[in-house]
Amino acid sequence: MIFFAKRPALALIMSFVTAIAIGTLLLMLPASTPRGCGISFVDALFTSASATCVTGLIVRSTATGFTLFGKTVILLLIQLGGLGLMTFSVSLFLAFGKKISKTQEVLLKDSLNEDSIRSAREILNFLLLVTFGSEIIGAVFLFFSFRQFYAAGEAVKMAVFHSVSAFCNAGFSLIDSSISIFAKSPGAVIVFSALIIVGGIGFVVLLDIFNNFTGKEKRFKLHTRLAIVVTAALLLGGTLLFYASEKNNILKDMSSGNKWLNSFFLSVTSRTAGFNSVDTALLKPFSKFTAIGLMFVGASPGGTGGGVKTVTFAIILLIAVGHIRRRSEITVAGRTIPPFFEHRAVAILVYAFIIIMAAGGILLYAENLPFEDIIFEVVSAFGTVGLSAGITAKLSDASKYTLIVVMFMGRLGPLTIALATMGHKQHLDISYASERVLLG
């Protein structure tokens, strides 16, 4: 444990690897699948990784391909992946009245991306309250929506599963057509959207909003402002673009209100969630291009989604604007962003491009499928979104293994992977002579 305290990134990776491995073994048990419908190792691994990394890409139907036990395993993996393994384990210790060690405190602090143990504990308590509170409230509202189609007992199961899946931005559904049965039900779509947005905005943002409304803080953090502004801009922009592209295509048989509602939901779910109220395989190329952009940016840091994250995207834009204005520092809302975070944002962007390009190249070489569908699938895996152009189940084992790695990297973050693999090295502060190079 002391070793992991010195290398928290590696501890985080190992916790996810362990969860995925256990999930794979459980899903391969005869009790997890219907009699005579056993699952292969690669499909069990893919399903376990997709659930733990809260992605939602599937290679077999969640509704018919698994028993109640198998579905329960998937649900637990989603909850573990959404909260984060380190957060979940520490929560169990506290729930049973156990004291956590200094090593666990360090790992908790790093997993929540906080500078102090005190702030990490505060976020942990708030995180658990918001998570389970949101999932319970969401399940209650969704019960009435599912009750229209299912018996009471089944409606309870459906409501609980989909509420957890939506809040954790997982996109797993117990309906083969996802939530298309609610395409013309504003209440259900709004509940799903609210759960996805709250889960994806980040617990640090939610805590900051709460502290400001209760008077504990008098000013919103810069992180909160950036996350909210970028999230709102992406949701609005996505809605307008999807409406313009699809109003005469997959939305043509809907009323004007439902067209806007489903365009909004497409924008929400493309960010990280993976649920679909319409068949994404039938989207126009422009809509798929729009979705790829939204999936690439993804959710906010500290949330349950993936992607390069909203705040990273905001800093990249601010760097570009600052360069055009010939400013040496990034200033926004009366605050200066340290150069370290500029470098970190650029590194995340570069790593993300490398991962997507490499995985895309492998799938394009291995599969005889349309280019746009391959890229859509890869970015969906990286952004832990789970939307698909309908090709996931058709992929070869090599492509499935590739997407497993991409989902894993997308959930943990490319920088976390890089820090873990590089190890802990002492760096000497040495400056060399500078020299100019040509750019652009």
> d(Cα 111, Cα 107) in Å, to the nearest integer?
6
Q: What is the rounded average pLDDT of the residues 244-271?
A: 93
Q: What is the rounded average pLDDT of the residues 269-287?
A: 90
CB-side exposure of 207: number of CA atoms within 13 Å?
A: 20
Q: What is the pLDDT of residue 161?
A: 96
| Length, in residues, of the chain | 440
How many C-beta neighbours within 10 Å does residue 216 have?
10
**How do residues 363-387 score in pLDDT, each as one tens digit?**
999 999 999 999 999 999 999 898 9
**How do residues 138-168 score in pLDDT, each as one tens digit?**
999 999 999 999 999 999 999 999 999 999 9
Q: What is the pLDDT of residue 1?
A: 44
Q: What is the pLDDT of residue 114?
A: 52
Look-up of token digits 């779509």: 189
> d(Cα 216, Cα 235) in Å, to the nearest integer?
29
Q: What is the dihedral of CA 367, 370, 372, 377, to 10 degrees?
A: -40
**How do residues 68-101 score in pLDDT, each as one tens digit?**
999 999 999 999 888 775 565 555 545 545 555 5
Residue 434 — φ and ψ, nearest 5°? -85, 155
Q: What is the rounded average pLDDT of the residues 297-319?
A: 88
Q: What is the rounded average pLDDT of the residues 202-220?
A: 87
pLDDT at 340 over 70: yes
Q: Is 331 helix (H, G, I), strand (E, B) or coil?
A: strand
CA 295 to chain centre: 9
pLDDT at 403 over 70: yes
Share of the chain above pLDDT 70, in %: 85
This prediction's pTM? 0.88
Q: Please give the DSSP secondary-structure letter assigned to residue 180.
A: G
Q: What is the pLDDT of residue 46?
A: 96
Mean pLDDT of the chain: 86
Q: What is the rounded average pLDDT of the residues 218-240?
A: 93
pLDDT band, very low/low/confident/very high, at 412 (cuts 50, 70, 90): confident
Q: Give Cβ neighbours of residue 79 (< 8 Å, ≥ 6 apart).
A: 88, 164, 168
Distance linking the first and last C-alpha atoms of the chain = 47
Q: What is the pLDDT of residue 118?
A: 53
pLDDT at 17 over 60: yes
Helix, strand, coil percent values for the chain (each to nearest 5): 65, 0, 30
Q: What is the rounded average pLDDT of the residues 251-270?
A: 94
Is 152 exposed, middle or buried (CB count within 10 Å of its CB: 0-12, 13-18, 19+)?
Answer: exposed
Share of the chain above pLDDT 90, in %: 55
Residue 46 — φ and ψ, nearest 5°? -60, -45
Q: What is the dihedral of CA 29, 35, 37, 38, to 10 degrees?
A: 20
Domain spans of the chain, in order of start: 2-419
Nearest to 383 by CA among 18, 45, 50: 50
pLDDT at 360 over 60: yes
Q: What is the rounded average pLDDT of the residues 286-307?
A: 89
Q: What is the pLDDT of residue 192?
A: 95
pLDDT band, very low/low/confident/very high, at 2 (cuts 50, 70, 90): very low
**How do residues 90-136 score in pLDDT, each as one tens digit?**
555 455 455 555 555 555 555 555 554 455 566 677 888 888 999 99
Tokens (6 digits) for 251: 């939305």
Tokens (6 digits) for 415: 């920088």
pLDDT at 26 over 70: yes
pLDDT at 34 over 60: yes
> d(Cα 310, Cα 92) in Å, to the nearest integer?
30
Q: Is 36 helix (H, G, I), strand (E, B) or coil?
A: coil
pLDDT at 4 over 80: no
